[in-house]
Amino acid sequence: MTTQPAPARAPLIAARGLTKRFGSFTAVDAIDFDVAPGESFGFLGPNGAGKTSTMRMIGCISPVTDGKLSILGLDPSSDGPRIRGQLGVVPQEDSLDTDLSVIDNLIIYGRYFGLSRAECTRRAHEMLEFAQLTERANDRVEPLSGGMKRRLTIARALINEPSILLLDEPTTGLDPQARHLLWERLYRLKQRGVTLVLTTHYMDEAEQLCDRLVVMDKAKIVAEGSPRQLIERYSSREVTELRFPVGIQETLGDRLAGIGDRIDLLPDRVLVYTSDGEAVSNAVHARGLEPETVLVRRSSLEDVFLRLTGRSLVD
Amino acid sequence: MALASSAPVPTLPATGDRVPRPDPVNAFRASYEHQILLYLRNWRGSLFSNFAQPVLFLLAMGVGLGTYVDKGGPDATGGVSYLQFLAPALLVSSVMQGAAGEGTFPVLAGFRWTRRYHAMYATPLTPTAIAFGQLAWNATHALMVGSIFAVVIVLFGAAATPGILWSVPIGVLTGIAFSAPIAAYMTSQRDTTAWNNIWRFGITPLFLFSGTFFPIERLPDVIRPLAWLLPLWHGVDLARALALGTAGQEPLLHLAHLAILVVVAALGAWAMFVRFRRQLEK
């Protein structure tokens, strides 16, 4: 018996020149990306970068202004309900029906996808197990904690066994325990072959969950790659963080020039990007400078993010 | 011949023509089913107030006030008791008030509070199916309120003729003529401020001055034409004529009532569907 050739991995989602305008405001400006089956793909960016608008277009609930978007090989403008039947959506804002019980939220949602009541009930119990909410099945939604509501929203999004799961800032506002539990559940889904598309502005989340990501800023994609590739390309292997006493920081001027690959002078500390953090530390001391604290760490996505999208506050 | 494989191979999802098409009828049915589920959470309380309201109103206005009105002779109320004069009109007005309420808070909740409609739109449901579920439910609820009211009227002996039963469908039609345009308006509201004003300066005066408690001929000549512009009077006057068996006396007027109610309800429903789509599809 001959082995089957690996199926061609045509992208599940393909965008070319994808654009969203609201009046004269351009929320998404001609972006291109592909998401492969089974991949976990992230949109990273500050608030207002266009992540949510992009997600809403992928979710087929927001018409594309310009460009091409194909999801599962179909066009959202003509096949919206058909595509939505294959998606699971975890929106940024909770949209659970707080007047219904936990399990009824799951059952009625399954009904939207045309599943029989018996099948909805069976899957709802399965999903409650997965979301660790079995004990709360008949409780009302209102008194649940933020983490529980998020888990219930994810359970709800899985009721139709979607081939693509869209998560818009899935863990914003959750405590660390709840976030780690969610990440673990999402990782299990990924192992089962579910394609994950998520937005986040948490770098640790992106590093945990994403095989590949794009960084968005001001409606455009400014970088694309795996977390590791992005760090290699836009940052250095290590970062040395130096903190000087108040008053000294401002007088540093050129006294650090030539140390490391790149220097970021922040109001409260100095970041030196380098391949060897210890060497930087030694070089600083050799110049007679006495920082209060020295921290050598590995470079992270956060360094990439801040380099690409700047440090000024976005509101 | 099959080779045992330990690692599970994720199956590739269906794409292109192999993606199943959702059943379009299911979208409408499931949207309506959600409403029923919501109603069942609280049906006892709802049913109780559906009974209590007509009992209280008929007791206070029909029996209590009616005793005084009837002393003035039957001419003022067209030859029937005040209770019989009032009953069909009160039914229509009450159904209208209930339906106006159903066009308000559930819609505000669906878009702003629980964001239920947004959740529905993330599935194969269309904005049209979502609006349909809400409107069909509002009509169902109006039918329940009206039917219970009719039963109470019969129990009170307040039915002049079997024509009282016409008040139920006319009540539902009047209800939609209010519920749908109000729902359309509420799609873009952020809170209840505008609504409070509609209720205070719209619904309550209409309830009082649309011929429910006294004929609009008693209104000053300057405001009387206003009654023609607002749909409640048409419902009230038509239901009363059918209940008292007098509709045949002015057939054109009563056909006009019906036509106006149908047009307002249809325009309202159209506006509601358009506004639901506009609000969801951003």
Which of chain B's residues have a Cβ under 8 Å away from the Cβ of A96? Answer: 114, 119
If one counts every other C-beta atom within 10 angstroms of the C-beta of residue A25, the result is: 8
- pLDDT at residue A312 in the model: 67
Burial B112-136 (b: 16+ CB within 10 A, else e): eebbbbbbbbbbbbbbbbbbbbbbb
The alpha carbon of B208 is separated from its chain's Cα centroid by a whole number of angstroms, namely 18
Q: What percentage of chain A's residues is helix, strand, coil (to nearest 5)? A: 35, 25, 35
Task: Indicate the pLDDT class of residue B26, thresholds 50, 70 and 90.
Answer: very high
Q: What percentage of chain B's residues is helix, strand, coil (to nearest 5)? A: 75, 0, 25
- pLDDT at residue B252 in the model: 94
- Do A189 and A158 meet the contact criterion of CB atoms below 8 Å apart? yes
DSSP-derived pairing of the beta strands A212-217 and A40-44: parallel
- pLDDT at residue A201 in the model: 81
For residue A53, pLDDT over 90 is answered with yes
Backbone dihedral region of B266: left (phi > 0), alpha (psi from -120 to 50 degrees) or beta?
alpha
CA distance B49 to chain A (A): 19
Average pLDDT, chain B: 89
Q: Which of B19, B27, B37 sits opposite A100 (nearest CB)?
A: B37
For residue B5, pLDDT over 60 is answered with no
Q: How far is the C-alpha of B117 from the C-alpha of B52, rounded, in Å?
A: 32
- Do A50 and A29 meet the contact criterion of CB atoms below 8 Å apart? yes
Question: Is A61 part of the contact surface with chain B (CB cutoff 8 Å)?
Answer: yes
pLDDT digits (tens, 9 = 90+) for A204-232: 889 889 999 999 999 999 999 999 899 88
CA distance B203 to chain A (A): 27
Burial grade of B17 (CB within 10 A; 0-12, 13-18, 19 or more): exposed
Question: What topology is assigned to A13-231 in CATH?
Answer: Rossmann fold (3.40.50)
- pLDDT at residue A3 in the model: 46
Q: How far is the C-alpha of B32 from the C-alpha of B38, rounded, in Å?
A: 10
pLDDT digits (tens, 9 = 90+) for B264-278: 999 999 999 999 999
Residue of chain A nearest B278, judged by CA positions: A62
- Tokens 């669906």 label which residue? B110
Higher pLDDT, A274 or B64: A274
Q: Which of A10, A83, A96 sits opposite B114 (nearest CB)?
A: A96
Residue A91 and residue B38: Cβ atoms within 8 Å? no
Residues on chain B bordering chain A, Cβ-to-Cβ distance under 8 angstroms: 1, 3, 8, 10-16, 19-24, 26-27, 30-31, 33-34, 37-38, 41, 113-116, 118-126, 280-282
Query: Where do the structural domains in chain A lie, given as residue ranges?
Result: 13-231, 236-299
Q: What is the ipTM of this complex?
A: 0.87
Q: List all residues 6 or more positions away from B263 whose beta carbon is below 8 Å from its beta carbon.
A: none
Higher pLDDT, B145 or A308: B145
- Do A112 and B120 meet the contact criterion of CB atoms below 8 Å apart? yes
Q: Which two tokens stand for residue A126?
A: 């399965």
Give the CA count within 13 Å in the CB-facing half-sphere of A226.
Answer: 5
pLDDT digits (tens, 9 = 90+) for B225-234: 777 777 899 9
Radius of gyration of chain B, Cα coordinates, nearest whole angstrom: 23
Q: Of how many residues is chain B composed?
A: 282
Mean pLDDT calculated for residue range A26-37: 96
The size of the A-B interface in CB pairs under 8 A is: 124
- Tokens 């559930």 label which residue? B106
- Do B153 and B94 meet the contact criterion of CB atoms below 8 Å apart? no
Which of chain A's residues have a Cβ under 8 Å away from the Cβ of B31? Answer: 112
pLDDT digits (tens, 9 = 90+) for A239-265: 999 998 877 777 776 788 888 888 888
Task: Indicate the pLDDT class of residue B201, thresholds 50, 70 and 90.
Answer: confident
Q: Which two tokens stand for residue A166?
A: 């869209």
Determine the residue among B1, B11, B15 to mutate to test chain A binding: the one whose Cβ has the most chain A Cβ atoms within 10 Å: B15
Nearest to B211 by CA among B53, B49, B78, B68: B78
Mean pLDDT calculated for residue range B120-135: 97
Q: Which two tokens stand for residue A46?
A: 């500050």
User: Given strand A220-225, what is the order of strands in its sheet?
Assistant: A87-90, A164-168, A195-200, A40-44, A212-217, A220-225
For residue A175, pLDDT over 90 is answered with no
pLDDT digits (tens, 9 = 90+) for B148-183: 999 999 999 889 899 999 999 999 999 999 999 999
- pLDDT at residue A301 in the model: 87
For residue B98, pLDDT over 50 is answered with yes
Residue A112 and residue B23: Cβ atoms within 8 Å? no
Q: Which two tokens stand for residue A132?
A: 């660790």
Q: Of how many residues is chain A composed?
A: 315
Residue B30 and residue A95: Cβ atoms within 8 Å? no
Residue A112 and residue B14: Cβ atoms within 8 Å? no
Q: How far is the C-alpha of B227 from the C-alpha of A186, rounded, in Å?
A: 61
Task: Indicate the pLDDT class of residue B200, thresholds 50, 70 and 90.
Answer: confident
Q: How far is the C-alpha of A34 from the C-alpha of A297, rounded, in Å?
A: 33
- Do B271 and B181 meet the contact criterion of CB atoms below 8 Å apart? yes
Determine the residue among A112, A142, A164, A196 to mutate to test chain B binding: the one whose Cβ has the most chain B Cβ atoms within 10 Å: A112
Chain A, 221-240: which have a CB under 8 Å from a chain B CB?
none
Beta bridge partner(s), residue A215: A44, A223
Q: How far is the C-alpha of B119 from the C-alpha of A91, rounded, in Å?
A: 8
Q: Which two tokens stand for residue B195?
A: 């609504």
Q: How far is the C-alpha of B39 from the C-alpha of B25, rounded, in Å?
A: 22
Residue A81 and residue B10: Cβ atoms within 8 Å? no
For residue A1, pLDDT over 50 is answered with no
If one counts every other C-beta atom within 10 angstroms of the C-beta of residue A254, the result is: 6
Beta bridge partner(s), residue A34: A14
Q: How far is the C-alpha of A264 from the C-alpha of A260, rounded, in Å?
A: 11
Share of chain B above pLDDT 90, in %: 61
Higher pLDDT, B92 or B215: B92
- pLDDT at residue B197 in the model: 86
Higher pLDDT, A201 or A222: A222
Q: Which of B10, B115, B126 sits opposite A93 (nearest CB)?
A: B115
Which of chain A's residues have a Cβ under 8 Å away from the Cβ of B124? Answer: 81-82, 84-85, 112-114
Chain A, 148-207: which have a CB under 8 Å from a chain B CB?
156, 160, 163-164, 192-193, 195
Residue A95 and residue B115: Cβ atoms within 8 Å? yes
When mean pLDDT is compared across A136-150, A271-285, B36-50, B63-77, the lowest value belongs to B63-77
- pLDDT at residue B64 in the model: 80
DSSP-derived pairing of the beta strands A212-217 and A195-200: unpaired
CA distance A201 to chain B (A): 23
Q: State the first-to-last Cα distance of chain B, in angstroms, to the nearest integer.
A: 54
Question: What topology is assigned to A236-299 in CATH?
Answer: Alpha-Beta Plaits (3.30.70)
- Tokens 């009363």 label which residue? B240
Q: How far is the C-alpha of A230 from the C-alpha of A309, rounded, in Å?
A: 13
For residue B74, pLDDT over 80 is answered with no
Q: State whether residue A70 is helix, strand or coil.
A: strand
pLDDT digits (tens, 9 = 90+) for A107-127: 999 999 999 999 999 999 999
User: Given strand A66-71, what is the order of strands in its sheet?
Assistant: A25-35, A13-22, A66-71
Which of chain A's residues have a Cβ under 8 Å away from the Cβ of B282? Answer: 22, 56, 62
